[in-house]
Amino acid sequence: MKRRPRLTRATAATTEPRLTAPRPVRIVHLGLGAFHRAHQAWYTDVVDEAKEWGIAAFTGQSPDRAVELMAQDGLYSVIERAADGDRARVVGSISAAHDGAAAARFAGYLADPGVAIVTSTITEAGYRISPDGQPIAAPEVDADLDALRRWRADTEPPTVVTAPGRLLLGLQARRRAEGGPIAVVPCDNVPDNGRMVRSGLLQLADRIDPLLAAWIDREAAFVSTVVDRITPATTPADVVAGSRLTGFDDRSPVVTEPFHDWVLAGEFPNGRPAWELAGATFVSDTEPFERRKLGMLNGAHTILAATGLVRGHTTVAEAIADPKPRELVERFWDEAARSLPAEVDPDGYRAQLIQRFANARIRHRLEQIAADSTLKVRLRILPILEAELAAGRPADTSIAAVAAWLRLAERRPDLPDPAAAALREAPPGTHGDRVRLAAVDERLVEDHALSAQIIAAASAATDL
Ligand SMILES: NC(=O)c1ccc[n+]([C@@H]2O[C@H](COP(=O)([O-])OP(=O)(O)OC[C@H]3O[C@@H](n4cnc5c(N)ncnc54)[C@H](O)[C@@H]3O)[C@@H](O)[C@H]2O)c1
Ligand SMILES: O=P(O)(O)OC[C@@H](O)[C@@H](O)[C@H](O)[C@H](O)CO
């Protein structure tokens, strides 16, 4: 096999001078996974001709990705994988990558008035905040709050382990340093994610120090975002493909689809990159866009994961090619589209989705999508079910979608999920189904007629 030079700033600069120097850090990111690198870091790289916007990215749980990226000076390739071919771009916007446990580093960046933005991609469940903005009771969060309460300004920052703990540590450091206003920009698949994170952090901050809560209320602008770009986990074959395309030995590429979208609402009091130059849209309210995306794309993904795994499929492309899941998804889209305004073009989005899901060169694993699925059913399917019932319609397909997930939850208790304990302990039969539905949302079991209907649909759907 041909030996290629290792991807570093020195080797990349020989062909692409734009990659020579790391850019000054003005964005701090929490959750250095595949998606951040294919989306926010890619947008920033594409638009930042003046090379003013560098990112310091922190991992969420394990330091591995930071170690891997720093061996390449933060550089990596984004492989855009279309149905008919690949193209690659080496991304230079990540100036530094760190272990999420490096509290002093994180606090140091946030204290810098030059840092203008904190972004995050830490999974829906990682915020430990429920969709209505209430903090979720958890001993790890309590332990972080205790440590932050005890943290004196003249001592090293404590090691905190949860995402809200880390965000609050950074904001406390900025307040103490009088670092000025900052934008907090969550980029996970949660409705009105800016409002949710603001509400949860304000309540948690109040438990640390009411002055911190008052400072956050005044100085931190929370931006709601709808993010869209299907980005599966990188495989060893992708590493080989990336190196072949770029000519560099790149151990950390990311594969994504050509499609990309980003809708944002909120203020950036300390500036931002001109992300609109790469297609981002700034709006006054993300709500119709997020209902379209979370319902039609993510809702369909959750249905494909539930039905596809039970039917023996591995990827989204395989599941959408199977007439049974496809039919359920098409009917679900009919329901979802009914409550969407024409201005977000549900029909056009739907036509694109079929193409995107059918792209068999993107191997998006159903097991990856099925992780944390109790919360995903709540965020992606229930809003459509509720909208249908509120409009006096039967919501048959949304009910069938929840029923399909019930069967998956029963058959695959091994899938990662914060509600795993409740799901595992659920007894067989109707009582177990009620326990599973309660893990999604208590309201599902409080409505006896609705839970009976879902459970009956699940019993009837023996082949899904
Ligand atoms: N991959 C996609 O197609 C896609 C598209 C849109 C949005 N997103 C959002 O981005 C998130 C991450 O996706 P990814 O593809 O980068 O996954 P990934 O597995 O590559 O990375 C996940 C990141 O989140 C961190 N994390 C996981 N659980 C956490 C927790 N409990 N607390 C703190 N950090 C935690 C991990 O350490 C890692 O840094 C998704 O959950 C989703 O909300 C992903
Ligand atoms: O990333 P998750 O785990 O929130 O959800 C899995 C997929 O539905 C999701 O990643 C989509 O691919 C993405 O939201 C497309 O923009």
- Tens digits of residue pLDDT in 426-435: 988 899 999 9
Distance CA 417, CA 125 (A): 9
CATH of residue 442: 1.10.1040.10
Ligand 1 close to Cβ of residue 256 (< 6 A): no
Average of per-residue pLDDT across 49-65 = 96
**Ligand 2 atom at minimal distance to the Cα of residue 228:** 16
Q: Which two tokens stand for residue 244?
A: 């072949």
Look at strands 254-256 and 224-228 and give their pairing: unpaired
Beta bridge partners of 77: 90
- Angle, in degrees to the nearest 10, between helices 323-338 and 300-310: 160
- Examine the domain organization and report whether 92 and 234 are in the same domain: yes
Domain count, the chain: 2
Judge whether 53 lies within some domain.
yes
Look at strands 224-228 and 261-265 and give their pairing: antiparallel
Average of per-residue pLDDT across 357-367 = 97
Q: Which two tokens stand for residue 105?
A: 């580093």
- pLDDT for 429 equals 87
- Examine the domain organization and report whether 307 and 254 are in the same domain: no
Probe target for ligand 1 pocket from 28, 30, 65, 123, with the most ligand atoms within 8 Å of CB: 123
CA angle 260, 81, 12 (to 5 degrees): 90
- pLDDT for 2 equals 66
- Whether 423 and 409 have beta carbons less than 8 Å apart is answered as yes
- Examine the domain organization and report whether 239 and 303 are in the same domain: no
Q: Which two tokens stand for residue 424?
A: 């595992």
Q: How confident is the model over 116-138, as pLDDT tens digits?
A: 999 999 999 999 999 999 999 99
Residue closest to 369 by CA, chosen among 435, 299, 271: 299
pLDDT > 70? residue 1: no
- Whether 350 and 333 have beta carbons less than 8 Å apart is answered as yes
244 CA to centre of ligand 2 in angstroms: 27
Judge whether 4 lies within some domain.
no
Q: What is the pTM assigned to this prediction?
A: 0.96
- Examine the domain organization and report whether 46 and 184 are in the same domain: yes
Instruction: Indicate the SS3 state at residue 452.
Output: helix
pLDDT band at 53 (very low <50, low <70, confident <90, very high): very high
- pLDDT for 424 equals 87
Judge whether 3 lies within some domain.
no
Judge whether 1 lies within some domain.
no
267 CA to centre of ligand 1 in angstroms: 24
pLDDT band at 277 (very low <50, low <70, confident <90, very high): very high
- Examine the domain organization and report whether 109 and 47 are in the same domain: yes
Residue owning the nearest CA to atom 6 of ligand 2 = 369
DSSP 17: G
Give this complex's ipTM. Answer: 0.98
Instruction: Indicate the SS3 state at residue 228.
Output: strand
- Examine the domain organization and report whether 87 and 193 are in the same domain: yes
Residues with CB under 6 A from ligand 2: 124, 189, 228-230, 297-298, 301, 369, 371
- Examine the domain organization and report whether 296 and 272 are in the same domain: no
- Residue 162 backbone dihedrals phi, psi, to 5 degrees: -90, 160
pLDDT > 90? residue 300: yes
Q: Could you identify the residue written with the tokens 């395989």?
A: 318
DSSP 295: I
Report which bound ligand comes closest to the CA of 261: 2
Distance CA 150, CA 255 (A): 43
Judge whether 2 lies within some domain.
no
Q: How confident is the model over 6-43, as pLDDT tens digits?
A: 999 999 999 999 999 999 999 999 999 999 999 999 99
- pLDDT for 135 equals 98
Probe target for ligand 1 pocket from 35, 188, 262, 379, with the most ligand atoms within 8 Å of CB: 35
Residue owning the nearest CA to atom 2 of ligand 1 = 231
Q: Could you identify the residue written with the tokens 């606090």?
A: 107
pLDDT band at 144 (very low <50, low <70, confident <90, very high): very high
Name the domain boundary from 282, 313, 346: 282
In this structure, what is the dihedral angle of CA atoms 285, 291, 293, 296, given to the nearest 10 degrees? -160
- pLDDT for 73 equals 98
**Ligand 2 atom at minimal distance to the Cα of residue 123:** 4
- Examine the domain organization and report whether 440 and 377 are in the same domain: yes
- Examine the domain organization and report whether 250 and 105 are in the same domain: yes
230 CA to centre of ligand 2 in angstroms: 6
**Ligand 2 atom at minimal distance to the Cα of residue 189:** 4
Ligand 1 close to Cβ of residue 90 (< 6 A): no
| Percent of the chain predicted with pLDDT > 70 | 99
Average of per-residue pLDDT across 253-280 = 98
Look at strands 261-265 and 281-282 and give their pairing: parallel
10 CA to centre of ligand 1 in angstroms: 30
Distance CA 464, CA 148 (A): 48
Q: Could you identify the residue written with the tokens 């029909």?
A: 347
Report which bound ligand comes closest to the CA of 365: 2
Strands (E), 168-230: 182-186, 220-222, 224-228
Name the domain boundary from 251, 282, 313: 282
294 CA to centre of ligand 1 in angstroms: 16
142 CA to centre of ligand 1 in angstroms: 23
The number of helices, as runs of H, and strands, as runs of E, in the chain is 23, 12
Average pLDDT, the chain: 96
- Examine the domain organization and report whether 256 and 326 are in the same domain: no
211 CA to centre of ligand 2 in angstroms: 37
Distance CA 366, CA 308 (A): 7
Judge whether 218 lies within some domain.
yes
Distance CA 352, CA 343 (A): 16
Name the domain boundary from 226, 256, 282: 282
**Ligand 2 atom at minimal distance to the Cα of residue 301:** 8
Distance CA 258, CA 424 (A): 39
119 CA to centre of ligand 1 in angstroms: 12
Range of the domain at 446: 287-460
CATH of residue 49: 3.40.50.720
Q: Could you identify the residue written with the tokens 């204290």?
A: 111
- Whether 282 and 265 have beta carbons less than 8 Å apart is answered as yes
Q: What are the residue ranges of helices labelled H in 229-286?
A: 236-246
- Examine the domain organization and report whether 268 and 304 are in the same domain: no
- Examine the domain organization and report whether 305 and 247 are in the same domain: no
Identify the weakest region by mean pLDDT among 173-182, 323-332, 417-426: 417-426
Ligand 1 close to Cβ of residue 61 (< 6 A): yes
Judge whether 116 lies within some domain.
yes
- pLDDT for 102 equals 97
- pLDDT for 463 equals 66
